[in-house]
Amino acid sequence: METQFDARQYVQQLDDGRWIVAAYDEQHNQWYCPMTAEEQRVTGCHTYIAHRLEDLGGSTFSAKSSAMRRARQAYDYKEA
């Protein structure tokens, strides 16, 4: 049975009320935010990394639903 992807674990609310897609790595005490394809093309990188959510350089969203859509796009992949 296939389990459904839950994007909520990757959607975080910032202090200013906006939403960002990010995953926390407890081992390294860092937040990771995936770059969009355009950001990857321009920078040659794939991820923003910061110790605080507010310091991430990723795209933010005014609506949680938009952030959820971005999280599904960034993290929902099929394992072989």
Assess if residue 1 is contained within a domain. no
- The residues facing 30 across adjacent strands are 25
Tell me the per-residue pLDDT of 1-49, one tens digit each, with 9 for 90 and over.
Answer: 566 778 899 999 999 999 999 999 999 999 999 999 999 999 999 999 9
Assess if residue 61 is contained within a domain. yes
Assess if residue 80 is contained within a domain. no
Between CA 3 and CA 30, with CA 66 as vertex, the angle to 5 degrees is 75
Global pTM exceeds 0.85:
no
Q: How many domains does the chain have?
A: 1
Range of the domain at 67: 7-75
35 residue type, one letter: M
